[in-house]
Structure 1
Amino acid sequence: MPIINTEHLLLNFLNHDEYTVNSQREFIIQPIANYFQEPNPPSVQIQLLSHGLFHPEQTDKAYIRKWLEKDYKLKVTQFFNQLKQAWDGPEVNIFVLPFNLNDNSSITGSGLSFTDKILLFLSLEPEKHLIETIMTHEYSHVLRLQTIHHEEVIQLKDTLIMEGIAEVITRRKYGKSLLPNITPDKLTIENLYKQWILPNLEIRSTHPLYQHLMYGNESMPQYLGYYIGTYLVERWQKSYLVSDNQLIRQPTNDFF
């Protein structure tokens, strides 16, 4: 069974006298951190919070209790098994946790993946097909990390294509994107690619410029790397008709 039981972690957290970041780390993050190669609870907590895990100071206990009543395990398990069979993929650990609601955003869920695990952050009412979209997106990452890259510290060009493939597949299957609806036009994309991405294709994910090129900054559009990765995969697909299974396993350099 790939779904890790997070319900008891959430209940322990709710039943504790304190409802703080520290108690979240003790009752939820610490057990999950044991599944990481470097089980450092503070760094794992920062990573999970930055990708969608609920924040105690922004989420009341009533929300968590209602979330527990949703019991997403069955739906996530069924869909994971479908993906695993369709893509001939590996078993991975899956953690399902409450999403951090933000009144200024229409987003109702998110995900995070590693070579051996996926974390899903879901709200009380995720939009239609959101669970399938996030699972498809994140599991495609797992397959590339295991079959193409074999490591989590990879080059910018690898991440561009990995994100582009995930975006192209989820758009085709569900008509949904996990990106903001601000896609730059083709000419802008090509110019940004030549200016920012092309000279830095081989920097690694530990490089200080890497995050800016993927997520944007004051000099670059938001989610620059994601849009360029999607553009590169779509451009390649115009010449090569392949299945999703083949696309996920296509070597990075083929797209350049």
Structure 2
Amino acid sequence: MGVISTDEWLKKDFDRPVQMMEKLKGAFRNTLDGDVIYQHLMKHGMYSPTQRTKLTWEHLRDNDAWKKTQALFMAYKKLWGGPDVPIYIFPLMSSGMRKKTNEMKSGLAFEDKLFLFYDKDIDDKEMEAVLIHEYHHVCRLHHLEKEQKEFTLLDTMVMEGLAERTVERYLGAKYLARWTKLYQEDKLQEFWSKHIEGQHSIKRTEPLHDILLRGQKGYPHMLGYCCGFYLVGKSEKISVKKSFIIQSEEFL
């Protein structure tokens, strides 16, 4: 499988993303229609058609983003013995909509598929960083015998932390997501005690899960992500393959 030719989809239907998403119904076992898929992907960085995002698409096409991502995927799949999944690449939403982050990339991982969203100025190492992060999620979801709806806040935090620590392992601190550098360690300890400690077992299906994870409604920005990165950083150095199977509770 690997990288799907979404560059061809974009060539034909750039201005009709909902229609384009109909092609993904099979990937979602035909349980969702194109509009629902598009709305879901937009929450994670999917473009909406503008002059700027059209330039992004053209830039990515001219820069061989699809070919480069395929080469990276094949390398990490072999290195980690990971599953073969389809990868869908689309332009990233325009910067005005990204609010507090100024990332060149975003992604969304499932056990059986992967979405990557690239900005036009993304360099090859940034592409590698987001692929490592999101494919790490795929591998961990593949190995954990737990349905995603059963995930707790702790599970999600550990998953995000481990994925980003794996980016650091291969590419160094320079390519960590900007949210990893938002707070000092003592601040994160304080946040953990104040906001997370009594709440880390709430299920992913509860509204508070995403509020705490992203730091919304008055909570510190990217709260759960940052605490997860801090939490797994305190563990002993575990191998990448062990990081796919280690239980979240072990980090407590």
Question: Normalising to structure 2: TM-score of the pair?
Answer: 0.89
Q: What is the CA-CA distance between 1:185 and the residue it aligns to?
A: 2.0
Which residue matches 1:188? Answer: 187
Q: 1:168 and 2:165 equivalent?
A: yes
Question: 1:196-242: CA deviations, max 9, x gaps?
Answer: 212112211110101111000243111100111111101112xxx32
* Aligned-partner SS, 1:56: coil
Question: 1:3-44: CA deviations, max 9, x gaps?
Answer: 112122112214xxxx3xxx2101x21112331143232221
Q: 1:137 and 2:133 equivalent?
A: yes
Given that 2:180 and 2:229 are in contact with CA atoms closer than 8 Å, whether structure 1 keeps it comes out as: no
Which residue matches 2:26? Answer: 34
Q: What is the CA-CA distance between 1:58 and the residue it aligns to?
A: 6.2
* Aligned-partner SS, 1:78: helix
- Structure 2 distance, partners of 1:133, 1:151, is 26
Identify the match of residue 120 of structure 2 among 98, 109, 124: 124
Q: 1:151 and 2:150 equivalent?
A: no
- Structure 2 distance, partners of 1:171, 1:55, is 31
- Structure 1 distance, partners of 2:77, 2:62, is 27
Unaligned runs of 5+ in 1: none
Q: 1:208 and 2:207 equivalent?
A: yes
Question: 1:32-68: CA deviations, max 9, x gaps?
Answer: 2331143232221112112111111463544433433
* Aligned-partner SS, 1:119: strand
Q: 1:255 and 2:231 equivalent?
A: no
Which residue matches 1:11? Answer: 11
Equivalent AA in structure 1 for residue 11 of structure 2: L
Equivalent AA in structure 2 for residue 142 of structure 1: V
Q: What is the aligned-residue RMSD (CA, Å)?
A: 2.0
- Structure 2 distance, partners of 1:61, 1:9, is 13
Equivalent AA in structure 1 for residue 129 of structure 2: T
Q: What is the CA-CA distance between 1:149 and the residue it aligns to?
A: 4.2
* Aligned-partner SS, 1:120: strand
Q: 1:236 and 2:221 equivalent?
A: no
Given that 1:115 and 1:152 are in contact with CA atoms closer than 8 Å, whether structure 2 keeps it comes out as: no
Question: 1:48-94: CA deviations, max 9, x gaps?
Answer: 11211111146354443343333322211111111111111110110
Identify the match of residue 103 of structure 2 among 107, 114, 122: 107
Q: What is the CA-CA distance between 1:133 and the residue it aligns to?
A: 0.5
- Structure 2 distance, partners of 1:181, 1:65, is 31
Equivalent AA in structure 1 for residue 165 of structure 2: V
- Structure 1 distance, partners of 2:83, 2:54, is 35
- Which protein is bigger by CA-based radius of gyration? 1
- Structure 2 distance, partners of 1:181, 1:251, is 22
- Structure 1 distance, partners of 2:73, 2:56, is 26
Question: Normalising to structure 1: TM-score of the pair?
Answer: 0.88
Question: 1:165-224: CA deviations, max 9, x gaps?
Answer: 011111232122223364322222112112221211221111010111100024311110
Equivalent AA in structure 1 for residue 21 of structure 2: I
Given that 2:91 and 2:119 are in contact with CA atoms closer than 8 Å, whether structure 1 keeps it comes out as: yes
The aligned length equals: 245
Unaligned runs of 5+ in 2: none
Question: 1:96-136: CA deviations, max 9, x gaps?
Answer: 11122315763221111001011111122203511110010
